Amino acid sequence: MSDDRPASGHEHGESGTHDHHHHDLDRLSMAVVTVSSTRGASDDAAGDAIEEELRAADNEVETRFVVPDDAAAVTEAVREAVGDASVDAVVTTGGTGVTPDDVTVEAVEALFEKHLPGFGELFRTFSREEVGTRVVGTRATAGIVPRDEDAPDGDGVPVFSLPGSENAARLGTRDIIVPEAPHLAGLARR
């Protein structure tokens, strides 16, 4: 379960200015959605890596789904996860490449109220060391999805979409999502 209390007990820094991190959540409850037509729950190495990294950082994994490479299935799974009031953030893995069945990016970006372009940029920067210039083939993305699609801005949930390889899923979760999701989740629900 999420804890709505701020990570720090104060709202102002030493200089008396507003503390930008006072909305950060201490612990997140996450949903993980694996997009694959060939893998199932028993052989989901990327989903397992994401869950391991989230739990190692003392977060909970509330829900895990495995859905086929189908835009409607991805949209439905993400909407279901975002609609769960106990979920603070969602991570998808798979479907971010350039093959005809890679439809995750189109499915999730259609739900975004706000795009977070820095996520994909940073992921590709971090990935370049491992995969070199092949990094241009990943379309990792992130954004804020409103809990209620008919509601005005507010009470949003960060959704991060990573490639389906175990290494990419671990890297993006450990090095970007774990440190930044508490801050983004706190701000998105203001």
Domain borders along the chain are 29-188
Question: Quick one: pLDDT at residue 152?
Answer: 57
Residue 17 has pLDDT above 60, yes or no: no
Report CA torsion sign: 133, 144, 45, 42: negative
pLDDT surpasses 80 at 12: no
Pair 105, 78: CB distance under 8 Å: no
pTM, two decimal places = 0.87
Residue with the larger pLDDT of the pair 14 and 68: 68
Q: Which two tokens stand for residue 61?
A: 């994994």
Based on the number of CB atoms within 10 Å of its own CB, is 151 exposed (0-12), middle (13-18) or buried (19 or more)? exposed
Q: What is the pLDDT of residues 127-144, one digit of tens each?
A: 999 999 999 999 999 999
In tens, the pLDDT along 61-79 reads: 999 999 999 999 999 999 9
Chain segment 27-56, per-residue pLDDT in tens = 999 999 999 989 998 999 999 999 999 999
Q: Torsion over CA of 101, 61, 54 and 123, rounded to 10 degrees?
A: 30
- Closest alpha carbon to 94 in 110, 107, 81: 107
CATH top-level class for 29-188? alpha beta
Computed over every residue of the chain, the mean pLDDT equals: 89
- Give the Cα separation of 149 and 141 in Å (integer): 20
